[in-house]
Amino acid sequence: MKIDFQHLQSAHCESGVTSSLLRQNSFSKITEPLAFGIGAGLFFAYVPLIKINNGPAITFRTFPGLIFKRTCDALGIPVIRKKFSSTEQAEAFLLKCLEEGTPVGCQVGVYYLSYFPKEYRFHFNAHNLIVYGKEDDNYLISDPVMENATKLTSYELERVRFAKGALAPRGQIYYPKNQGEITDEQIKKAIVKGIKKNVSTMLHIPGWFAGVKGIKHTGNKIKKWRDKLGLQKAGLYLAQLVRMQEEIGTGGGGFRYIYAAFLQEAYAYLEQDELMEVSSIFTQAGDLWRTSAVQAAGIYKGRLGSQEDFNLMGDYLLEIAELEKTAFKALNNIKWQ
């Protein structure tokens, strides 16, 4: 059983899955950047009370599932989403979808994801992939971060669908309900909605730990890490920051570039000059995130380590926070025609 489905590689798993699942209805018009932007995928949060792999929990993305949900909501497409308490039910439902010819998105954990290299397998449960068929005991998998389509045995797929720990996927499956063609008018409205949503999550979210305020807070915090944690642990924390920032499926600098690409594509639909201007600000922000990562690497590799080096690292984040604040304020001020 194999559904006619074309694998498409993307930069980020959930925006990739969203774009791929909507491809048929949108005639490929919902590209990855559009899905990311309409889904208001850009985010930042420093969660001080939670530790991941013995380091600080820093996220550059929204909650898993939100990009898909927001994109479909903004386009007016109903979403089917199911969680399961038993593995048998989860597989039966998946098979039913495939028999009906529907490719489906699955949330999975990466620790047991056999086609990932071992070095990348942590207990991270917010990865997304598409199942589009079954041959013998193998499920046909389109994992958006991989260059080519791949396969998992039914046991392997069950294991990653029922990975345990934080954000356990519990067999979660989702797909858009078939609603016919997506029109340009729908896309235009959805773009505006997505931008407004992202302005609100980055500028107006309460609390000091999230949005642009969160970036600023983290920048100030980093300056104190050297004294508070000692050089070795501070290096470990910075390495964690960079991994959260740049790693596959998470991306921080990379996310800014996707957002910049989104604004360019949005301009093609809405022709508001501000979109192009703000796009270039996000390009700068992405570049600066990467510069900060290079500085962090200098510290965790042991090449740098003075308090000034930590100050510079913190200052990069303060500068980024200002830059992104300017960008989102400009988006907030657009008079939509």
Partner 1 sequence: MKKEHVPQDMSSLGKITKEVQYATDGSGKYVKELSSGWDVKINALDVAWKDIEGRVAGARQQVLDGAASPLLFFMEYRLMDIGILADYTGFWKWQIKRHLKPDVFNRLSEKKLKKYADTFNVSVEDLKNMTIHED
Q: How many CB atoms lie within 10 A of CB 217?
A: 21
Q: Is 47 in the site for partner 1 (CB under 8 A)?
A: no
If you count them, how many residues does the chain have? Answer: 337
Instruction: Single out the segment in contact with partner 1 by CB under 8 A; choices: 5-13, 39-47, 70-78, 175-183.
Output: 5-13
Asked whether position 275 contacts partner 1 by CB under 8 A, the answer is no
C-beta of residue 319 within 8 angstroms of C-beta of residue 292? no
Q: Judged by CB under 8 A, how many residues of this single chain contact partner 1?
A: 50
Closest CA to 18 of 2, 39, 4, 3: 39
Please, what is the minimum distance in Å from the beta carbon of residue 239 to partner 1? 4
Rama region for 249: left / alpha / beta (φ>0; ψ in -120 to 50; rest): left
Query: Does residue 251 contact residue 243 with C-beta atoms inside 8 Å?
Result: no
Per rule CB under 8 A, is residue 264 in the interface with partner 1?
Answer: yes
Among the listed residues 95, 239, 318, 330, the single contact to partner 1 using CB under 8 A: 239
- Residue nearer to partner 1 on the CB measure, 74 or 238: 238
The reply to whether 9 sits near partner 1 by the rule CB under 8 A is yes
Decide whether 89 or 232 has the Cβ nearer to partner 1.
232
Distances (CA, A) of 246 to 12, 27, 116, 302: 11, 31, 17, 20
Within 128-167, the residues that bind partner 1 by CB under 8 A are: 145-148, 164-166
CA distance 172 to 160: 11
Give me the residues that bind partner 1 (CB under 8 A), please: 9-11, 33, 53-54, 111, 115-120, 122-123, 145-148, 164-166, 168, 235-236, 239-240, 242-243, 246-248, 253-254, 257-258, 260-261, 264, 280, 283, 286-287, 290, 293-294, 296-297, 300-301
